[in-house]
Amino acid sequence: MLDALRVLRDTASGVDLPADVARNASLDIERLSGLLKPYLVADTLQAAGRTPGIGGRAHALLPMVHVDEADDNRLVGHVTFGRYYLGGFGAAHGGAIPLMFDEIMGRLSNAVGRPMARTAYLNVNFRAITPIDVRLRVEVRHDREEGRKRFLTAALYDGETVTADATALFITLKPGQR
């Protein structure tokens, strides 16, 4: 269903509809919302964001990063920003790129039994246009830990060109910390 939703998002972002088609589409989307509403649950029980086996953890907001290689301290994956993430002139929106970094750096930070941590800062440099509809490579490194602090770096590549890179600090949560 989320795959279909992603296709809908990309398609809806790219069209310019006549009013009658837009009206009919709205009615269909409202009908679908009605179909799902009886299944609303508490946020701790929802599937979205909590289903690691499904791409993007089944989180509808996230650009889907596919992991190609990973070990304890390094991860290489790929991602394609669809039309939904367009900022302008063929480039991904500047807010979508930190979103992707936060997710994939957070995943490596929390991997291999390391206790759950939360992003304290995420600094992103935009080095070149990040094109939409192009398969991009993302590389993440877990650099070091100092007590509760975990330092990670990441870069996003279009071919050999680094389009963005990031440094992040994740802090391990204390027992019972919310």
Q: Name the residues that contact ligand PKZ, by CB under 6 A.
A: 50, 52, 57, 102-103, 106-107, 110, 118-121, 147-149, 169, 171, 177
To the nearest 5 percent, what fractions of the chain are helix, strand and coil?
30, 35, 35
Least distance from ligand PKZ to the Cβ atom of residue 178, Å:
8
Is the Cβ of residue 31 or residue 178 nearer to ligand PKZ in the bound state? 178
Residue nearest to ligand PKZ (CB): 106
Query: How many angstroms separate the Cα of 43 from the Cα of each of 22, 40, 81?
Result: 31, 9, 27
Q: Nearest 5°: phi and psi at 36?
A: -85, -30
Least distance from ligand PKZ to the Cβ atom of residue 154, Å:
12
Residue 162 · residue 123 · CB < 8 Å: no
Is the Cβ of residue 159 or residue 175 nearer to ligand PKZ in the bound state? 175
Least distance from ligand PKZ to the Cβ atom of residue 104, Å:
8
Cα–Cα distance, 79 to 70 (Å, whole number): 15
